[in-house]
Amino acid sequence: SQTIHQWPATLVQPVGSPLSLECTVEGTSNPNLYWYRQAAGRGLQLLFYSIGIGQISSEVPQNLSASRPQDRQFILSSKKLLLSDSGFYLCAWGQGGRGSPLHFGNGTRLTVT
C-alpha cells in the first residue's frame, strides 16, 4: 500500500532563517506531488505541484520554492523566512488520470517568530 511521510511535524523558526520541509511517498511510482498551505481561518492554497523529477510548477508568487530531486521526494524550501510564511503545510500525492484521488500527509506546523 502507498504511504506518504512528511517531516518535521512542527517547526519554529526565526524570521530570516532558511527552511526545508521534506515529503516522501512509498509504494507508488511517478506520482504527482503537491505542496499546500493552510493558513489560520483560511482554506487550503496550492503552492507547488510536480508531475515528474525536476518539473515544478508554482501556483502563486511567494517567498518559497520547491524541488523534486527524486521520483518520490518533494522538498519545500525558503532562503529567508517571513512572518507571513507561518502556517500548516501539507504534502499530497496522486496518480495521473481524471479519476484519481489525492492523498495527504500529516502536515508540518510552521511558526515563524
Partner 1 sequence: KQEVTQIPAALSVPEGENLVLNCSFTDSAIYNLQWFRQDPGKGLTSLLLIQSSQREQTSGRLNASLDKSSGRSTLYIAASQPGDSATYLCAVRRPGTASKLTFGTGTRLQVTL
54 binds partner 1 (CB under 8 A): no
34 binds partner 1 (CB under 8 A): yes
- Residue 85 and residue 110 in contact, taking contact as beta carbons nearer than 8 Å: yes
104 binds partner 1 (CB under 8 A): yes
Q: Report the relative pairing of strands 108-112 and 10-13 from DSSP bridges.
A: parallel
The closest alpha carbon to 90, from 21, 18, 14, belongs to 21
Q: Which of 1, 14, 43, 61 binds partner 1 (CB under 8 A)?
A: 43
Residues that bind partner 1 (CB under 8 A): 6, 32, 34, 42-44, 46, 49, 51, 57, 59, 88, 90, 92, 94-107, 109
